[in-house]
């Protein structure tokens, strides 16, 4: 923890060096490591604790390469000669405990060097997304040339009692489900300042205690952690200045505080409150540089939005007569110069409030800023149209997707940071279309594969320290695999998932009510949507049986599975799934379609009705083709139907496309326009009153602007061919480009009269497909082509 000038340079390095898995010594993937897992002696191994590890290393010369493999439980932050190098490990489980591979040579020099790691275990306060065994740290040199750095009892360790958990009652105070872990209370007087720097006096530190031999997957018989190479890139950190001081009490504060050049002095024996506004929602490590202020208390509260007295959020841009509530940290200064506070884990915020009470000494705030943290997606797609307001939807949607992507996909970054199949399926498609980067999607498919319970279902969210099974989300895992198969040529990976897919489908088959040929009663939590008419997110029949919604979701998944199994030569399985889908589809339509209302009921009792049941009737083809458009009109305009939220509107749009009514998509963007008008800078979990202001399942326009308005979709597995069928609605012009495994797809569309179109299409050289407009088809080839219809 150095002065601010050093910190800025330090984090440029974090973004510049990434691991190269190909450089891993093969011996380390096939045998015991000769480093040791180490911990701090004389501490409870599963309790809350923060620890500093150090190793002094003397080198004859600066090495050209010095590759090490690093991991910890719960987490670590690695330093070399005072510079932060990387953080980890990527979240997994005990059977798949990830390690990072880093070449630290750029940070080393001839002579004395120091490798150091900050390691922490949140104990009972750990996030639910954090699987854990006990406190541990391991660093393994790649070859004998790096073995001098291996963790063993030559490393020193210090138990840092400056840290205490705080903000441990977030759920109770906010009256909601919040499981991201605690805040940090740090007593600067007890902190070992400079511990990560060469030359720090560590003679009084204890020797690290060896606890286990590190082992890779397939090795060992008594493993605490089974190691796997990290399969995603390192997270990216970028410096980010805060925009505005929105209000202050007890002292006058201007925006000059935020430029890094103007310190703010708070007099002794003073109580002040300062509200800062990033101006948009973000996920970052907030950082504060503070001098003097011995005896002061600095409370730092983070929030996506402020709350009115009645608990509502209202327009997010308005701060008057509103208060902040949320996760917080506490820093207790020791009176020294340029003390640097950074929480152990990232925070989500638009607003930060500093509540400061000084003692007998003035306190100086030297600087306030943040470092954004997240998966290093690079946006390669773009979309423009004659309606400039769509650009705001595109930009805010992409910000939402970015904030919900870390070492896993997050449902929401503020409250949970958990990866759920229902969210992740949508997020993955957004990632593919906007960036072309499929690594986080692939990891998500693997994560859920690793989560399976003995019954055959995947868990509803994973990684997770608590068991949660959501049967409909297991179906979405199969759908996500189908999506991946359609967009990527990765047949070996997909084929390895077929047996687990069968496990999911067989579980549902065992729960079929043979009398009705619909799904019967099911255990666990059959969540569908946060529809206000669905108690706990579950519609009629979801738990006690004969749900049209879940039966038809199963039908849709069976249809996708039939395609998968047929492709891989599993003809009998494919035929079984197709026949079962047809049987359930016919039976559900016969029993649940209400002729008088012209829509699907939620159950055969026909007491409740939702958009969801009819959406799935269209998606599965359960409703006769001649009735599809009438049913879609009922879905869109019959307000007696309980409504789909932002999340399930993704499937509403799939139904529009299936019915040949995709031109109506543009008119269905009112909910997103409403969020923007209400001052949201990311898209919310559900309509107000909403818990989360950032929920990536609501970013589906970033997929649909390209897949629906521009009409770009794969026409065959692996995106080997393309189908471009635009749906402009009332738009006159639209342009979109997106990455494809073989290059880039570009589409420029211009209306020509009432029913005509002019299109300019550019495809990768080897890609072929079809352009469809008003039922007319034109063959597409690689390269540039102009079409007029």
What is the C-alpha separation between 270 and 356, in angstroms, rounded? Answer: 8
Report whether 717 contacts 670 (CB < 8 A).
Answer: no
What is the C-alpha separation between 419 and 397, in angstroms, rounded? Answer: 18
What is the C-alpha separation between 346 and 281, in angstroms, rounded? Answer: 13
Q: What is the pLDDT of residues 212-251, one digit of tens each?
A: 999 999 999 999 999 999 999 999 999 999 999 999 999 9
Q: What is the pLDDT of residues 55-101, one digit of tens each?
A: 999 999 999 999 999 999 999 999 999 999 999 999 999 999 999 99
User: Quick one: pLDDT at residue 59?
Assistant: 97
Cis peptide bond prior to 89, omega within 30° of 0: yes
Average pLDDT over residues 541-570: 98
3-state secondary structure of 191: coil
Report whether 530 contacts 685 (CB < 8 A).
Answer: yes
| For the chain, domain boundaries | 4-161+190-234, 237-374, 511-664, 710-789
Range list of β-strands (E), 514-596: 518-519, 593-594
Range list of β-strands (E), 304-416: 328-332, 339-341, 347-357, 363-374, 382-385
Going 663 to 664 to 666 to 672, the CA torsion angle's sign is negative
Average pLDDT over residues 28-48: 97
Which residues have a Cβ under 8 Å from the Cβ of 221 and sit 6 or more positions away?
none
Does the pLDDT at position 440 exceed 60? yes
SS3 per residue for 713-773: EECCHHHCEEEECCCCCCCCEEEEEEEECCEEEEEEEEEECCCEEEEEEEECCCCEEEEEE
Q: Average pLDDT, whole number, for the chain?
A: 96
- Evaluate whether 4-161+190-234 and 237-374 have a shared fold: yes
Average pLDDT over residues 759-786: 97
What tokens were used for 354?
A: 């500093």
What is the C-alpha separation between 48 and 344, in angstroms, rounded? Answer: 13
Q: What is the pLDDT of residues 649-706, one digit of tens each?
A: 999 999 999 999 999 999 999 999 999 999 999 999 999 999 999 999 999 999 999 9
User: Quick one: pLDDT at residue 276?
Assistant: 98
Looking at CATH, the fold of the domain delimited by 237-374 is given as Jelly Rolls (2.60.120)
Q: What is the pLDDT of residues 253-302, one digit of tens each?
A: 999 999 999 999 999 999 999 999 999 999 999 999 999 999 999 999 99
- Whole-structure pTM value: 0.95
Which residues have a Cβ under 8 Å from the Cβ of 81 and sit 6 or more positions away?
107, 108, 109, 113, 114, 197, 198
Report whether 224 contacts 176 (CB < 8 A).
Answer: no
What region, left, alpha or beta, does residue 553 occupy, with left being phi > 0 and alpha being psi -120 to 50 degrees?
A: alpha
User: Quick one: pLDDT at residue 754?
Assistant: 86
Average pLDDT over residues 317-337: 98
CATH architecture for segment(s) 4-161+190-234: Sandwich (2.60)
What is the C-alpha separation between 131 and 116, in angstroms, rounded? Answer: 24
Instruction: For tokens 């991201």, name the residue.
Output: 180
Q: What is the pLDDT of residues 463-482, one digit of tens each?
A: 999 999 999 999 999 999 99
CB hemisphere CA count around 557 (13 angstroms)? 26
CATH class of 511-664: mainly alpha
What tokens were used for 370?
A: 């943040």
Average pLDDT over residues 14-21: 48
Q: DSSP character for 517?
A: T
CB hemisphere CA count around 154 (13 angstroms)? 12
User: Quick one: pLDDT at residue 20?
Assistant: 62
Which residues is 58 bridged to in the sheet? 112
Q: What is the pLDDT of residues 596-640, one digit of tens each?
A: 999 999 999 999 999 999 999 999 999 999 999 999 999 999 999
Does the pLDDT at position 726 exceed 70? yes
- The CATH number that domain 710-789 falls under is 2.60.420.10
User: What share of residues in the chain are helix, strand, coil (percent, to 5)?
Assistant: 30, 30, 40
What is the C-alpha separation between 694 and 698, in angstroms, rounded? Answer: 8
């Amino acid at each position: 923890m150095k002065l601010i000038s050093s910190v800025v340079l330090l984090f440029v390095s974090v973004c510049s060096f990434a691991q190269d898995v190909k450089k891993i010594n093969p011996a380390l993937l096939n045998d015991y490591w000769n480093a040791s897992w180490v911990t701090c002696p004389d501490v409870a191994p599963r309790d809350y604790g923060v620890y500093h590890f150090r190793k002094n290393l003397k080198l004859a010369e600066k090495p050209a390469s010095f590759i090490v493999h690093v991991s910890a439980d719960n987490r670590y932050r690695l330093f070399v000669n005072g510079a932060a190098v990387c953080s980890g490990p990527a979240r997994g489980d005990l059977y798949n405990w990830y390690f990072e591979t880093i070449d630290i040579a750029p940070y080393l020099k001839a002579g004395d060097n120091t490798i150091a790691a900050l390691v922490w275990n949140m104990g009972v306060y750990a996030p639910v997304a954090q699987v854990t065994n006990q406190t541990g740290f391991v660093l393994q040199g790649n070859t004998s040339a790096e073995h001098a750095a291996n963790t063993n009892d030559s490393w020193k360790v210090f138990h840092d009692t400056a840290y205490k958990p705080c903000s441990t009652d977030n759920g109770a105070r906010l009256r909601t489900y919040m499981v991201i872990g605690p805040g940090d209370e740090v007593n600067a007087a007890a902190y070992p300042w400079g511990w990560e720097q060469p030359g720090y006096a560590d003679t009084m530190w204890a020797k690290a205690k060896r606890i286990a031999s590190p082992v890779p997957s397939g090795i060992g018989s008594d493993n605490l952690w089974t190691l796997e190479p990290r399969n995603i890139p390192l997270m990216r950190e970028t410096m980010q200045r805060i925009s505005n001081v929105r209000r202050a009490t007890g002292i006058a504060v201007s925006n000059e505080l935020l430029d890094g050049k103007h310190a703010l002095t708070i007099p002794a024996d003073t109580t002040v409150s300062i509200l800062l506004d990033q101006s948009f929602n973000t996920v970052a490590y907030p950082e504060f540089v503070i001098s003097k202020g011995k005896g002061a208390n600095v409370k730092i509260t983070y929030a996506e939005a402020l709350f009115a007295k009645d608990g509502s959020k209202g327009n997010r841009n308005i701060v008057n007569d509103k208060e902040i509530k949320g996760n917080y940290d506490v820093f207790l200064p020791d009176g020294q110069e340029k003390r640097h506070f950074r929480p152990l884990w990232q925070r989500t915020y638009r607003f930060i409030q500093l509540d400061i009470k000084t003692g007998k000494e003035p306190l100086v705030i030297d600087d306030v800023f943040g470092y954004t943290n997240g998966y290093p997606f690079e946006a390669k797609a773009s979309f423009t149209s004659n309606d400039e307001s769509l650009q705001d939807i595109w930009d805010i949607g992409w910000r939402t997707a970015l904030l919900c992507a870390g070492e896993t996909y997050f449902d929401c970054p503020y409250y949970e940071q958990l990866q759920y199949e229902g969210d992740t399926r949508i997020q993955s498609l957004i990632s593919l279309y906007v960036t072309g980067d499929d690594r986080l999607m692939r990891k998500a498919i693997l994560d859920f594969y690793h989560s399976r319970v003995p019954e055959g279902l995947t868990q509803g969210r994973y990684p997770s320290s608590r068991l949660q099974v959501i049967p409909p989300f297991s179906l979405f895992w199969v759908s996500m695999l189908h999506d991946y198969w359609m967009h990527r040529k990765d047949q070996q990976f997909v084929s390895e998932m077929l047996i687990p897919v069968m496990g999911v489908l067989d579980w549902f088959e065992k729960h079929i009510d043979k009398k009705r040929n619909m799904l019967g009663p099911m255990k666990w939590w059959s969540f569908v949507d946060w529809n206000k008419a669905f108690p706990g997110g579950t519609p009629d029949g979801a738990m006690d049986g004969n749900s049209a919604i879940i039966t038809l979701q199963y039908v849709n998944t069976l249809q996708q599975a039939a395609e998968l199994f047929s492709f891989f030569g599993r003809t009998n399985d494919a035929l079984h799934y197709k026949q079962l889908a047809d049987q359930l589809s016919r039976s559900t339509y016969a029993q649940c379609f209400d002729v008088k209302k012209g829509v699907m009921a939620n159950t055969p009792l026909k007491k409740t009705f939702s958009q969801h049941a009819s959406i799935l009737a269209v998606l599965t083809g359960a409703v006769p083709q001649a009735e599809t458009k009438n049913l879609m009109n009922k879905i869109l305009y019959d307000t007696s139907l309980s409504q789909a939220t932002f999340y399930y509107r993704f499937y509403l749009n799939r139904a529009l496309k299936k019915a040949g009514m995709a031109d109506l998509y543009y008119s269905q963007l009112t909910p997103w326009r409403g969020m923007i008008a209400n001052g949201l800078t990311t898209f919310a979990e559900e309509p107000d009153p909403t818990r989360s202001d950032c929920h990536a399942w609501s970013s589906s326009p970033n997929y649909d602007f390209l897949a629906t308005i521009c009409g770009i979709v794969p026409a065959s597995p692996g995106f080997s061919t393309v189908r471009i069928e635009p749906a402009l609605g009332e738009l006159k012009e639209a342009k979109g480009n997106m990455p494809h495994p073989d290059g880039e797809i570009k589409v420029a569309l211009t209306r020509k009269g009432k029913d005509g179109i002019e299109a300019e299409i550019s495809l990768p050289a080897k890609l072929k497909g079809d352009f469809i407009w008003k039922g007319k088809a034109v063959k597409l080839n690689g390269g540039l082509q102009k079409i007029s219809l």
